[in-house]
Chain A
C-alpha cells in the first residue's frame, strides 16, 4: 500500500501550505489528539476521515485557534505560526464552512458575507463595492446566490454557497469544509464537488472533513485517517480503495452492504390515510394529504431532504402533534386521536429523530432511561413504588445484549455518554418493547460506521422477525440499502414510490428536489 511519509524533510517543506506537526491535545481523562500530523499541499483536496470522536473536530479547532495544543506546532509555508484565536486563523487566510452554518438568519446574503469585515467610510457602510465583489465571485465560481435574499428564506444549498462566498470574500486560500454534504441532494453534492475541484485547480487548498467514503474517492487527492485520537496514516486516493479506507478508520472490516433476504410482506400493520398537519411556521400545511401503508416484514422508507414535512408527519403518527385531517390505523384500529402512552401499548415503538430532545432524559441515568417507556409496567413498580432491583436487572440485560458502552454502567448519566451509545440505548429500549410497528427516524444520524452497521442489522432483524418498519432517513445510502419500498416526500407530499432494486439515487434525487413527480 503506497503511502506518503509523515515525517517532514527539509526538501519538501515548502511544498505544504499548512502543516500541523505532532499535535497533542488532552482533555481531562482523554487524549483527543495524540501526536497527529496533517500536511496540506498547495492546490490539493485533502480529506480528513475518522469516526465520531476520532479527533477531527478537535484538530480543526486547534487549527482555528479555539484550542491550544499541549504539544506540536503549526507551520504555514514552512514557517512556524502561532494561532491564538479565529482572528489569527483568518489573518493566515484560513476559512471554514461549519457543519452547522454560522449565518445570521434575519440578515441578507450580502450582509452575512461582509459581516465582520464590513467596508465602511468613517463608520458608514459602503455596500456597493462589496456587492460587486460578491457578484463577481459568484459568477466566477458558479456559486449562484441572490445577494438580497434573507437567509432564513433561502434553501440549505444556497446557505452553503453563502458560507463558501464568505470565505472567498475574505480571500481565504485554505478552505475547510466540515461535513458539507450532509444536507444536500445528490445533484447538489455533484455541484459542490465540481466547485471544490475548481478551487483546487486555482491553487486553493481544501481540507474536507467527512465520513462518507464515496465522496472522498470522487474528489480528494489524499486522505488522512484518524482513529480514537490517534494518527493512522495518510494515503493517496489513487492508490487506495474504500474498503482499505474504512478498515483504517474503524480498525476492522466493515460490511457496507446490509445482508437482507427477500421476504414476502404480510398483512397491513400501519394504514395512513390523507394525513394533513398544519405548519407552525407558515399558513400552509407542512404535511399534505399523505397516505400509504406498511405491512409485516417490510421496511418502508420516507426519503427526502430535511424540512420537507417528515418530522411533522412522524409527530402526527406518534401522537406528539395532532393532524387536522386524515386517519391512522394500527393493526386495524384507529389511533388518530389516541394518547401517546396508548399507542405505545398498542405496539408502536419510536426511535425519535432528536435523541436529546425526545429520546432521552439526559439528566437521568442510563437505567432510568432504559425504562422510560416501561416504568409504569408492574414489572418495574408495585403500588407506585419503583422496583429498583428489577430496573437494574433489566437495564443490565439490555446493556449486555445491545452492547451499550458507558463509563459506569447502569448508573452512568445519559448526558455523559457518547452519541453512538446514547442511540444504541434508545434502539435497545424501543426494540425490546417487541413492537408491531417500529418507527425509526434517522436512526444513524451522526453515528460512525461501526454503530451504523450495528443499528442497520437490528432494524433488518426486526423486519425479518415479521415486524413492520417505517424508516425516515435523509441518507440516500441508508435508504437504498435498507428499504423494501421507498416513498419520496417533497414539500409535505409524497411525490413518488420506488422499488430500491430498480431505481437509482439520481432518480430519487430528482424527486427529492421537486424536479419530478409521479401521479399516484
Chain B
C-alpha cells in the first residue's frame, strides 16, 4: 500500500518536473512570452478541448499501451526489451501485408502481427538463453534489421502501394486501407460518430483488455510467479527448479507479441499509412517511458500511455507558432523527465522514511522479560 502511494507520488512529481522544464524550453525558444505561454497552456489543455481531440488521444494511446506493456512485461521478468520498435514494426508490416496483399480481415491481421512480433522478440530471447548474449544489443540490432527488411520488402511489393488501388503518384507509403481493403480496418462501432472523429476505433478497448490479461498473468498465475522469480533472482529460480532458459524465451516472445499487436492497432485504423522512411517509429521507443512511468505495472501503463498520448496530441496545438522540431523537443523533454520516475521513487523512499523495518532487525520486539540485569549478582 505504502509502496503504491510512493509509486504514484513519484510519477506525479516526475510529470510536474517535466512540465516545468518543458515550460522553460517553450519560453526560451519562443519569440513572445505571452504567445509562448498561451501555446504551452494550449498544449496542456488541447487533449480535453474537444471530443475529436480526445478521440485522437485515445487512438494514439492504444499502440503506446501495447509497447508499454511489452517493455513493462519484460522488465518484470528481468529483461530490458529495447527491441519494442522492431517488434512493433514487424507487427505493423505483417498486419498491413495481410490486409492489403492478402485481403484478410482485421482480426486475422492482428493475430498475424502478434505472431510476427513474438518471433522477432524470440530471437534475442534465444540468444540470451543459450549464448548469454545481452538482449539489449541483439534487439537494437534487430530493430534496424527489421526496419530495412520492411522497407525493401514494401518497395518491391507493388500491390502494397497506392498506385495499385487508386490513381496516385505516391510511392513511398502504403496504400490506404479505405481503398485497399475496408475489411482490414478495425471496426469503430459507432465510436467515430460519438466522438466526431474518424480516428477512434475499438483499438483502445483491445489494448486495455491486453493490459488486464497481462496483469492477471503476472499477479495471479503460477506462470507469472515463475517469470517474476526469474526476473528478481535467476539463481534462486533455478534453485527452485524453474526452467530459466525457457522463461527467458517465453518472456521475450510475449513481449514481442504485445509490441506486434501495437503495430497492428495503429496501422489498421485506416487513418495511418506506413511511410517508408529510414527512421524507427517513436511509438516503439515510447513504450520505454510508458513502462517506466508506470513502474511496469500493467494497469498503470494504461494511464501513463494516455498521459504521453495526451502530451503528443497537445503538442500539435502549438503549431504554427513553434516549428514541429521544437515541439518534438518540448514533448521529448516532458517524456524524458517523466521517465525519471524510478529515480524519483528511489529518492522519495529515502526522504519519506516509511518505517517498513528495512534496517537491521525486522523482528518484532518480543516481550523482554529478562532485560534486567543478570550481571552483577
Residues in A lying within 8 Å of B, measured CB to CB: 1, 3, 27-30, 32, 53, 58, 225, 228, 230, 232-233, 235, 247-248, 251-252, 318, 320, 339-344, 350, 352, 357-364, 368, 372-373, 375-376, 380-381, 384-386, 405-407, 412-413, 415-418, 421
Contact = CB atoms under 8 A, between A and B. Distances in A.
Interface residues of B, number: 40
A362 B232 contact: yes
A203 to B, nearest CB: 29
A230 B237 contact: no
Interface string B352-377: 01011111111111101011011111
B358 A372 contact: no
B132 interface: no
B229 interface: yes
User: 10 closest A-B pairs (Cβ-Cβ)?
Assistant: A341-B241, A233-B375, A358-B239, A340-B241, A27-B359, A53-B361, A407-B357, A29-B355, A251-B370, A363-B232
Nearest to B373: A233
A360 B374 contact: no
Nearest to B358: A416
A340 B239 contact: yes
A375 B222 contact: yes
A232 B368 contact: no
Contact of A3 (B221, B365, B376): B376
Contacts of A416: 356-358, 362
A243 to B, nearest CB: 12
Instruction: Point out which of A29, A247, A375, A386 has the most chain B C-beta atoms below 10 A from its C-beta.
Output: A29
A407 B356 contact: yes
B236 interface: yes
B225 interface: yes
B179 interface: no
Contacts of A368: 225
A362 B233 contact: yes
B361 A386 contact: no
Contacts of B220: 385-386
A344 B374 contact: no
B363 A421 contact: yes
B240 interface: yes
A320 B239 contact: yes
A335 to B, nearest CB: 13
Contact of B239 (A28, A352, A407): A352
A1 B376 contact: yes
Given A320-B238, A362-B232, A418-B363, A228 B368 contact: yes
Interface in B319-377: 353, 355-366, 368, 370-371, 373-377
Contact of A372 (B236, B353, B362): B236
Contacts of B193: none
A490 B237 CA distance: 30
A232 B374 CA distance: 8
Nearest to B356: A416
B222 A248 contact: no
B223 interface: yes
B241 A339 contact: yes
Contacts of A350: 239
Given A32-B359, A375-B222, A421-B362, 14 more contacts: A1-B375, A28-B359, A251-B370, A341-B241, A344-B241, A359-B239, A361-B236, A368-B225, A375-B225, A407-B356, A407-B363, A416-B357, A416-B358, A417-B362
A233 B235 CA distance: 43
26 contacts: A27-B359, A27-B360, A30-B361, A225-B375, A230-B371, A235-B375, A251-B371, A251-B374, A352-B239, A358-B236, A359-B236, A360-B233, A361-B232, A361-B236, A361-B237, A364-B232, A372-B240, A373-B241, A380-B222, A384-B223, A385-B222, A405-B363, A407-B356, A416-B358, A421-B362, A421-B363
Contacts of A359: 236, 239
B370 A252 contact: yes
Interface string B234-260: 011111111100000000000000000
Contacts of A376: 222
B81 to A, nearest CB: 20
A416 B362 CA distance: 6
Contacts of B366: 405
Contact of A406 (B243, B359, B362): B362
Contacts of B241: 339-344, 373
Nearest to A422: B362
A386 B222 CA distance: 6
Contacts of A318: 239
Contacts of A1: 375-377
A233 B362 CA distance: 25
B21 to A, nearest CB: 32
B342 to A, nearest CB: 15
Contacts of B243: 339
A248 B360 CA distance: 21
Contacts of A252: 370
Contacts of A341: 241-242
Nearest to B369: A251
B161 to A, nearest CB: 45
Contacts of B233: 357, 360-363
Contact of A373 (B225, B240, B371): B240
Contacts of B362: 406-407, 412, 416-418, 421
A340 B238 contact: yes
Contact of B376 (A233, A363, A375, A415): A233
A300 to B, nearest CB: 22
A478 to B, nearest CB: 23
B236 A3 contact: no
Instruction: Point out which of A248, A361, A406 has the most chain B C-beta atoms below 10 A from its C-beta.
Output: A361
Nearest to A225: B375
Contacts of A247: 374
B229 A372 contact: yes
A344 B359 CA distance: 34
A33 B361 CA distance: 13
Contacts of A340: 238-241
Contacts of A421: 362-363
A417 B360 CA distance: 8
A228 B363 CA distance: 11
Given A30-B359, A358-B236, A364 B229 contact: yes
A57 to B, nearest CB: 9
Contacts of B375: 1, 3, 225, 232-233, 235, 248
Nearest to B363: A405
B361 A418 contact: yes
Contacts of A344: 241
B277 to A, nearest CB: 42
A225 B373 CA distance: 12
Nearest to A419: B361
A417 B362 CA distance: 5
Contacts of A380: 222
A360 B229 CA distance: 10
B362 to A, nearest CB: 5
B240 to A, nearest CB: 5
A406 B357 CA distance: 10
A375 B225 CA distance: 9
A324 B233 CA distance: 27
A363 B230 CA distance: 11
A52 to B, nearest CB: 8
A357 B360 contact: no
B238 to A, nearest CB: 6
Contacts of A373: 240-241
Contacts of B365: 228
A194 B236 CA distance: 42
B369 to A, nearest CB: 9
Contacts of A32: 359-360
A368 B375 CA distance: 43
Given A416-B358, A418-B361, A386 B221 contact: yes
Nearest to A360: B236
B222 A361 contact: no
A322 to B, nearest CB: 13
